[in-house]
């Protein structure tokens, strides 16, 4: 069973949202939730936990 998501600092002032179970960055719509401002990461985390965002299994490929 999935235990959830959390956020961690990746650079000075930037954050990422990751899956607690596998310690990997979460992707939504193929876009990684990384290099976010603290408010953006908090919002994404809240939306994931509330079920309003669904993680994707694949990354978006650049054309």
Would you tell me how many other CB atoms lie within 10 Å of the CB of residue 36?
A: 20
**pLDDT at residue number 10:** 95
**pLDDT at residue number 3:** 67
Secondary structure (DSSP) of 8-63: EEEETTEEEEEETTT--B-EETTEE--SB-HHHHHHHHHHHHTTSS---SSPPPP-
* Residues of the chain with confidence (pLDDT) below 50: 1
pTM of the entire structure?
A: 0.84
């Amino acid at each position: 069973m999935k235990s959830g998501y959390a956020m961690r600092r990746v650079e000075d002032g930037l954050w990422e949202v990751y899956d607690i179970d596998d310690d990997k960055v979460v992707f939504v719509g193929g876009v990684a939730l990384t290099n976010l401002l603290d408010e953006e990461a908090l919002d994404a985390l809240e939306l994931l936990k509330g079920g309003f965002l669904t993680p994707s299994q694949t990354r978006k490929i650049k054309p």
